[in-house]
Amino acid sequence: MPSPTTPARMIPLGLVAAVLVLVADQASKWWMGEVLRLPERGHVPLFSAGPFSLDLSMVWNRGVTFGLMAGDAPWHGWLLAGLALVITLILLRWMARAETRPVAVALGAVIGGAIGNVIDRLRFGAVFDFVDASFRGWHWYVFNIADAAIVLGVIALVADALFRPPSTGRDGVAKEPV
């Protein structure tokens, strides 16, 4: 019988993480658009603490993370959505082979965030961003929950790759990364 941490057992955990991120992302965008009416209001100050401030600012992002690869051509959103779906399939394959819970959860976070932004691209032609953080007047890129999940998931995957001890096979010899 497989142990609870065998790769096949990581898929449900990763998928739960993906669904949680996706639901949180889409619910927050719905709330910002339909309840708070951020598209009509444009900007809502939340709080300021010394040099740091956090506001809600409506931005339609036609690019990828941080607005990179932005474009206005009608096919552009479909191209980025297709690219995100291909990457999602690759990450699902990786998740199927994940050996640890943190890797499965990190992959799920990236997948859930990617799907959340794909939904926006297909519905609106752009991604609905609204979190606006600044420090001493310098504004970070406006982002959403999906973007945060993607970035945190990637950071967790990099940390895992850098700091996890190599796994060993039955013969006690370290296995090469796949």
Q: Is 55 a catalytic residue?
A: no
Structure tokens at 164: 């996890």
The closest of 42, 22, 20 to 32, measured between CA atoms, is 42
Selected catalytic residue, list 25, 120, 129, 132:
129
Q: Locate tokens 């690869």: which residue?
A: 69
Exposed / middle / buried, residue 63 (Cβ in 10 Å: 0-12, 13-18, 19+): middle
Q: Which amino acid is at 73?
A: A
d(CA 24, CA 149): 10
Task: Select which of 25, 120, 132, 147 is catalytic.
Answer: 147
- Give the span between the Cα atoms of 130 and 57, in whole angstroms: 5
Token pair recorded at residue 36: 């708070």
Is the Cβ–Cβ distance between 140 and 133 less than 8 Å?
yes
Which active-site residues does the annotation give?
Answer: 129, 147
